[in-house]
Structure 1
């Protein structure tokens, strides 16, 4: 029987992110994926600055930017009848025009899932993760001490925890009896990856995404990181009896020609597949020692590009928390914060994506009872975690990330330093940003607990003339390994207070 700390099932963006960050944190990880390799489809393209911050923690941010020539050149989103037809409106002209310098030093990325997953895989394996393809989870059982799983190659695995990253139709979620609720299916599509010379019909140097409301079909078309390769999607109507078989190459070629306004185009079709556009959220994100990440936890329409980014966020969040428990830094209670923090993010992502879908593709979509959309920038960088691991002292759920407050639950402010930004101090453990006088307390608590805890002093390590961190004359801010402020305050008994706070947020 093979023994491991964590068994990860699924090697998409969520599963590979969890595997990578767990391995970097020193956990023993086994990851299994039923497909023979990483994704061949660009599908979840684009990285928010928050995702790029997480990739920076892993040291792969430059590599992710490097695989997409479009990474720093902008994004254009257009709703039109065809590439040269009537333009109904432009959704986004250029995200690069937004000055994020007060919120983060991380850029937007535009790389596709097909080129990002190999980077995650290589980094995970380099850190020590065992990742196996063409291998399925056959069955699993959990008890008070761990999870026993049987794999398709006949091996039995005993793991302390299981991370379910097995997609929107998660068999693990179903086996746990966790329902997924929400609007449900809102459409079906046939996806196509094709090669062709579109000339100047699309802007080659940016991510140029078209939502097509054509007289013949509703669909989408976008360029990819591979020159001359494009992704096309057209609506599928199973309620009329349509299946993928009703879209032979000849029909798809005609639809692509109509969407591109190139009647003589001869596209070379590389891949086709049918998929469901839906909105569902798992009622629970965990059960015992099993945790759901990515599409296993929530399925969201692709309108807005937030599904893949949310999966990466899920993977990082559960990884650092599991690693802390496995090392003995934290008690099992820390794991309760996973659902408390990530489920509200999923709810906002799904609601916002649904509103985007109605605006861009499905004007008749009934969203009665669906919460209002959230500003994408606030959702990306101005979100707040509220749990036992982030001691928030007011009720705000979002803030303007261009005006960071440094309050617990929000991302720590990014302020200039001699070498770069305070963001450069994050991602390697816990950090205490202090106004002064906390160094001895930090060193004492670090020695007593063995927790990776750094001290950064205002005026020496960073400047904060406007007191964005909210330290006052003698306060401190405790920042988690994910860059989220866990607590801030002041105390005469600094070592005692810091130890008490750490014990609370870590569930010790």
Structure 2
């Protein structure tokens, strides 16, 4: 018997595993593959993801894993690496001063580097992760989930209180639950290629160089990787025109790379190729009883914007702290319903913004009619808003985001990045329990309610005027760094804090 069974050890599954184990939850994770990803794919960590990694204590390791991690990001829409430039979307993201919004930098490591770091941390926290193990079947009842696993031809049965489906965009668990998806579905097909070549000054070595190529002969993505002289190339192919991956022989790929790099005599070494579908799908439900969808099982988004992997990590973290609270008896089952209430609207924003980006960068004929408006990257990463019973809202403002450079401290938004006067900022003191911020007047209330409820409630003194607080007021921040509740000065802080937590946790 385990508390949680996670199926899939990609970004979403490993995120859930790592944070569950950090909270002391007994978690078993299985994956049918032999190891974590061996290909860079989903490269880049948003500021929000780096905050979550800070909570887990792996932020520095992730940054150090990539030679380009502390550099910037350049995104160019062009005919070729040295040809006509149609748009320069970003010249150097790393040069942008984000200190008013977050204390964390943007990361650039590839998935092949980040997943092993997450795995090691999860195992250090006490998680069990088994590769070469697949889910054969599962059933659920009022008390838990019974799963049949297969490894090396042998089947075993595992009983878990909850099951997390992190088994990818074609999730068998989602299908077994009968959960349908919305969205345009398949948008395009491309061939992922990793190759080695000396490109000289065709690309910048001090930043991550990403190109969207609109060439008369093809459309394709092109990017640098963490390994010197190794690059990713992703040309589109069109099944509707009778094209298939088999049409892209090594000779044809070499010729396309020569056109893309403006190097007619280049002799690239092809290391890996695989077909890849670009799609946009959103599951209609993220929960079915004791089963939860995370990552690509919950949503699939185009890569234009780099938010797929980052959103998966955010899914895993959001679900982990809520499951941990319920398993510890701190919250009722109602808290688990807030996972879908909060993460599904966010996934919709990510998908729609990525589709708008896709139209701008790669496919100008893409129909974006009916989509919600695109969000600015910083607002999408750091200014998003949650609405659920795990937030005690102060207003009915319909805005989905706010400017993270001018944070309001309102419930539903991230806690503002504030220097606490101890050499730390807010991100350094968040991530495990609840945090109460005030001018000091609420410190006794935090201690009293923590002793009464068994909840971890850490009190921190904030400079005057931060968190949007008036003198004598307080701000309660959840374990995920989101503001859950604010209070003005009150004659009975312990009673006010206890009442708020009772509502937030459905106690």
Say yes or no: TM over 0.5: yes
- 1:210 paired residue number: 211
- 1:434 paired residue number: 438
Rounded to whole Å, the distance in 1 between the matches of 2:411 and 2:66 is: 35
- 1:424 paired residue number: 428
Rounded to whole Å, the distance in 1 between the matches of 2:368 and 2:136 is: 38
Rounded to whole Å, the distance in 2 between the matches of 1:488 and 1:198 is: 55
Out of 105, 108, 119, the residue aligned to residue 106 of structure 2 is 108
Out of 8, 21, 24, the residue aligned to residue 26 of structure 1 is 24
Rounded to whole Å, the distance in 2 between the matches of 1:243 and 1:141 is: 38
Rounded to whole Å, the distance in 1 between the matches of 2:85 and 2:126 is: 50
Rounded to whole Å, the distance in 1 between the matches of 2:445 and 2:439 is: 13
Out of 149, 164, 177, the residue aligned to residue 151 of structure 1 is 149
Rounded to whole Å, the distance in 1 between the matches of 2:370 and 2:350 is: 15
Out of 36, 42, 45, the residue aligned to residue 44 of structure 1 is 42
How many residues align? The count is: 500
User: 1:435, CA displacement in angstroms?
Assistant: 2.4
- 2:372 paired residue number: 371
- 2:356 paired residue number: 355
- 1:478 paired residue number: 476
- 2:78 paired residue number: 80
Contact 1:477-1:488 within 8 A present in 2 as well? yes
> Normalising by structure 1, what TM-score?
0.97
**Stretches of structure 2 lacking an aligned partner (at least 5 in a row):** none
**Stretches of structure 1 lacking an aligned partner (at least 5 in a row):** none
Contact 1:44-1:307 within 8 A present in 2 as well? yes
User: 1:457, CA displacement in angstroms?
Assistant: 2.4
- 1:271 paired residue number: 272
User: 1:471, CA displacement in angstroms?
Assistant: 2.1
Rounded to whole Å, the distance in 1 between the matches of 2:85 and 2:333 is: 54
User: 1:492, CA displacement in angstroms?
Assistant: 1.8
Q: Which moved more, 1:334-343 or 1:194-203?
A: 194-203
- 1:452 paired residue number: 456
Question: Is the partner of 2:466 in helix, strand or coil?
Answer: coil
> Normalising by structure 2, what TM-score?
0.97
Question: Is the partner of 1:312 in helix, strand or coil?
Answer: helix
What per-residue deviation string (whole Å, max 9, x for no partner) do you get for residues 416-450 of structure 1?
Answer: 12312122111121011012322221111111111
Rounded to whole Å, the distance in 1 between the matches of 2:302 and 2:338 is: 26
Question: Is the partner of 1:337 in helix, strand or coil?
Answer: helix
Question: Is the partner of 1:447 in helix, strand or coil?
Answer: helix
User: 1:476, CA displacement in angstroms?
Assistant: 0.8
Rounded to whole Å, the distance in 2 between the matches of 1:78 and 1:350 is: 21
Question: Is the partner of 1:79 in helix, strand or coil?
Answer: strand
Rounded to whole Å, the distance in 1 between the matches of 2:371 and 2:412 is: 25
Contact 1:10-1:31 within 8 A present in 2 as well? yes
Rounded to whole Å, the distance in 1 between the matches of 2:149 and 2:289 is: 20
Question: Is the partner of 1:385 in helix, strand or coil?
Answer: coil
What per-residue deviation string (whole Å, max 9, x for no partner) do you get for residues 384-436 of structure 1?
Answer: 11111111222232111001111101111111123121221111210110123
User: 1:71, CA displacement in angstroms?
Assistant: 1.4
Contact 1:404-1:468 within 8 A present in 2 as well? no
Rounded to whole Å, the distance in 2 between the matches of 1:437 and 1:278 is: 52
Q: Does 1:413 align with 2:416?
A: yes
Q: Does 1:282 align with 2:283?
A: yes
Contact 2:440-2:460 within 8 A present in 1 as well? no
- 2:165 paired residue number: 164
Runs of 4+ off more than 4 Å: none
- 1:245 paired residue number: 246
Q: How well do the aligned residues superpose, as a CA RMSD in angstroms? A: 1.0
User: 1:329, CA displacement in angstroms?
Assistant: 1.2
- 2:506 paired residue number: 507
Rounded to whole Å, the distance in 1 between the matches of 2:374 and 2:461 is: 39
- 1:398 paired residue number: 401
- 1:468 paired residue number: 466
What per-residue deviation string (whole Å, max 9, x for no partner) do you get for residues 366-386 of structure 1?
Answer: 111111111111111011111
Contact 2:92-2:207 within 8 A present in 1 as well? no
What per-residue deviation string (whole Å, max 9, x for no partner) do you get for residues 449-484 of structure 1?
Answer: 1111111123xxxx23xx121221211110001110
Contact 2:21-2:125 within 8 A present in 1 as well? yes
Rounded to whole Å, the distance in 2 between the matches of 1:71 and 1:409 is: 30
User: 1:85, CA displacement in angstroms?
Assistant: 1.0
User: 1:336, CA displacement in angstroms?
Assistant: 0.7
User: 1:57, CA displacement in angstroms?
Assistant: 0.3
Out of 473, 485, 488, the residue aligned to residue 487 of structure 1 is 485
User: 1:287, CA displacement in angstroms?
Assistant: 0.5
Q: How does 1:297-316 map to 2 (within 5 A)?
A: 297-316=298-317
Question: Is the partner of 2:83 in helix, strand or coil?
Answer: coil
Contact 1:140-1:149 within 8 A present in 2 as well? yes
Q: Which moved more, 1:27-36 or 1:419-428?
A: 419-428
Out of 8, 14, 17, the residue aligned to residue 16 of structure 1 is 14
Rounded to whole Å, the distance in 2 between the matches of 1:264 and 1:408 is: 59
User: 1:333, CA displacement in angstroms?
Assistant: 0.7
Question: Is the partner of 1:78 in helix, strand or coil?
Answer: strand
Q: Which moved more, 1:471-480 or 1:294-303?
A: 471-480
